[in-house]
Amino acid sequence: MLFLTEEDVLRAMEGRNAYGEAVAVIEEVLRQQSEGSTFHLKRLTMEHPDHPGHLWHNIRILPGMAPDLGFAAVRVYSGYRGTNRSEVICLFKWEDMEMAAIISDYHLHAVRTAAPYGVAARHLARADAETLGVIGTGRYARGFVQACSAVRDIRHVKAYSRSPENRRRFSEEMTAVLGIEVSAVESGREAVENTDIMLLATSGNTVVFKGDWLEPGALVMSLAPGEFDEATVERSRVFLSGTDQVLGDSPPRKPFPSLLASGKFSRDDVAAEFCDVVSGKKPGRRSDDETLLYESPGMGILDVGIASWVYRLAREKGLGTELPFGENPG
């Protein structure tokens, strides 16, 4: 069994178009999901009864199987005080369910989280999309921008966060990475104006995007629960990955619970499970003027895809540490 540290993961991806490759991997996983060969369960969150709250003492488990990729996986992590480095993916070979690897999943998770949104930018954005706005300037925002730029000819990025220093640093770093103009703007609304693709990449549970900001033809994509208001849903055609999880997640993914309770939104209002758009079974964008909303929660099949990809890269480069897991000592 191979153990991959954070350094191993970064070295495995070094020198490659990591986000472009990751988008292609996740696109294939979604195609397989549409064909019915994958299987995953909703995220399980276990909290200690004396220490409730999803940002405190908990263990979170996310399993998935992708037989056509030759692997299954379980992501295990803690949400204590938000994202931390207590994150691993256990990867299993499908043929005999032998554990193939344990992979440290801090940096890799940013790539996995961003990749579905790159796929969505390819399938749901207008064909001439070239301007991208982002609210949030952390590691996920960096991943989002790179994943979208890998599949679209993005010419200009506008970035906003509450911290002037953070958005300045983000614009400087991403200008160097992408080689295009990345501007720091003074408000979330300014990030939205005249923008083709809008990315919400905050820590969640605070509305940072309002439905009355929407412009015809925009694609809005959200990472965390509670980033947009009810009006955003009501004014958009909604595409989801893992509809059951988005509409029934723990903790709840606002604003969907209140919309469902009020009858303003139902499962029938989801335009399509996004994987069916990827496979061509369902239509995506129908016109340049319609506004679309996409949200992707964590799904175990995405971890299978990204973990098997980096595992193969690491094997090719001879990275990682072999552990005698499961060997008979006799």
Taking 70 as the threshold, does the pLDDT of residue 278 lie above it?
yes
Query: What pLDDT, on a 0 to 100 scale, did the predictor assign at position 63?
Result: 97
Average pLDDT, the chain: 93
Mean pLDDT of 45-70: 86
Q: Which of the pair, 45 or 211, is modelled with greater confidence?
A: 211
On whether the CB atoms of residues 220 and 198 are closer than 8 A, the answer is: yes
The set of residues, in sequence order, having a beta carbon less than 8 Å from that of 227 and lying 6+ positions away, is 135, 200, 202, 204, 206, 207, 208, 209
Give the residue-averaged pLDDT of 79-108. Answer: 87
Task: Give the pLDDT score at 251.
Answer: 73
Greater confidence, 326 or 187? Answer: 187
User: Would you place residue 85 in the very low, low, confident or very high pLDDT band (cuts 50, 70, 90)?
Assistant: low
pTM recorded for the entire structure: 0.94
Q: Is the pLDDT of residue 327 over 70?
A: no
Residue 196 or 224, more confident? 196
Res 252: pLDDT: 83
DSSP code for 297 = -
* Mean pLDDT, rounded, for 178-203: 95
Residue 329 confidence (pLDDT) above 60? no
Q: Would you state the pLDDT for residue 57? A: 79
Q: Give the span between the Cα atoms of 160 and 154, in whole angstroms.
A: 17
pLDDT at 41 over 60: yes
Q: Is the pLDDT of residue 52 over 80?
A: no
Helices (H), the chain: 6-13, 18-35, 107-124, 139-151, 164-178, 188-192, 230-234, 243-248, 256-262, 274-278, 300-317
Structure tokens at 314: 């690491």
pLDDT score of 54: 58
pLDDT level of residue 326 (50, 70, 90 thresholds): low
Quick one: pLDDT band at residue 83, thresholds 50, 70, 90? Answer: low
Domain architecture of the chain: domains with CATH: 2-109+300-322 (3.30.1780.10), 114-295 (3.40.50.720)
Averaged pLDDT, 23-27: 98
pLDDT tens, position by position, 137-172: 999 999 999 999 999 999 999 999 999 999 999 999
Structure tokens at 39: 């299987």
84, pLDDT greater than 60: no
The string of DSSP letters for 228-274 reads B-HHHHHTSEEEESSHHHHHH-SS--TTHHHHHHHTS--GGGEEEEH
- Over the stretch 253-264, which tens digit does the pLDDT of each residue have? 899 999 999 999
Q: What is the mean pLDDT of residues 95-109?
A: 96
Angle in degrees, 0-180, between the axes of helices 18-35 and 107-124, rounded to the nearest 10: 70
pLDDT digits (tens, 9 = 90+) for 283-305: 999 999 999 999 998 899 999 99
pLDDT at position 55 over 80: no
**pLDDT of 123 above 90:** yes
